[in-house]
Amino acid sequence: MRARTPAPAPPRGKRRGPIWRPASTPCGRSARRQAATAAYAPLYAVRADAHTDLTGRVRDRNAAVDITLDPGYATGEEITTVTAQVSFDDGVTWARVPVVHIADRWRAHVLQPRGEGYASLKITGADVSGNSVEQTTVRAFAFG
């Protein structure tokens, strides 16, 4: 009996970020009063699922990347905006891709070039209060 193991996963790049931008707070309050009414700003964790196979590749040329933003321990506000950009040259140039809202997540539609290579993703999200996050992952997944 012979067992086949899948090919090793392709080398993946590094994640840059996330970069959090909390909404500004009112100025001019006393430190004690401000501390008493302070709320924790959500530090969103960005998760992108490109539905890769066991080797880290997306075989379909039109990839659907599911995006979720998790507020962590803080209570997150309603996410109002998610944008996504893709790069096929390790982040040298970026192109926006369409993103749609589906139930509790967002979905980016990435049309990959013919052949083999890597896709990098830059995802930004913002909530109704103005808190935002940006995360860049170079070589997020392989394609082809």
Parse the chain into domains and list their residue ranges.
Answer: 34-143
Q: Does domain 34-143 bear CATH number 2.60.40.1940? A: yes
Decide: 108 and 58 in contact? Cβ < 8 Å.
no
Q: What angle do CA 117, 119, 141 make, to 5 degrees?
A: 90
71-122 pLDDT per residue, tens: 876 666 788 999 999 999 999 999 999 999 998 899 999 999 999 999 999 9
Of 65, 58, 49, nearest to 116 by C-alpha is: 58
CA distance 130 to 79: 10
What's the pTM value of the predicted model, to 2 decimals?
Answer: 0.77
